C-alpha cells in the first residue's frame, strides 16, 4: 500500500501522519503506510493546518491561496 494514490478522476489522495510541535517542518519518512510529516506549529487556531498546506504547496510546486 502506498501513501499516495489517484482516485480515478486525476485527484491525488495522500495518506499522512502529522506530528505537531516539532522543531522544524519536514517529511520524516514512512509510518505504517503513511508519509510522516513533522510540523513546527501547534494544533491551535488552524496554525498546524496552515503550516501543512504551505509545506505541501512548496513540495508539490503549486500555489497556495492561504
Instruction: Summarize pLDDT for 16-38 with one digit per residue, the tens.
Output: 999 999 999 999 999 999 999 99
Q: What percent of the chain has pLDDT over 90?
A: 79
CA proximity to 28, closest of 66, 3, 19: 19
Q: Please say whether the beta carbons of 21 and 32 come within 8 A.
A: no
Share of the chain above pLDDT 70, in %: 92
Q: What is the pTM of this model?
A: 0.83
The predicted pLDDT at position 31 comes to 95
Q: Please name which of 60, 56, 65 lies closest in space to residue 25, comparing C-alpha atoms.
A: 56
What is the rounded average pLDDT for all residues in the chain? 91
CA distance 39 to 26: 7
Amino acid at each position: 500500500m502506498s501513501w499516495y494514490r489517484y482516485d480515478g478522476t486525476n485527484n491525488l489522495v495522500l495518506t499522512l501522519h502529522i506530528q505537531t510541535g516539532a522543531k522544524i517542518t519536514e517529511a520524516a519518512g514512512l509510518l505504517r503506510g503513511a508519509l510522516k510529516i513533522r510540523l513546527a506549529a501547534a494544533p491551535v487556531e488552524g496554525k498546524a493546518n496552515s503550516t501543512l498546506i504551505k509545506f505541501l504547496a512548496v513540495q508539490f510546486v503549486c500555489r497556495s491561496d492561504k
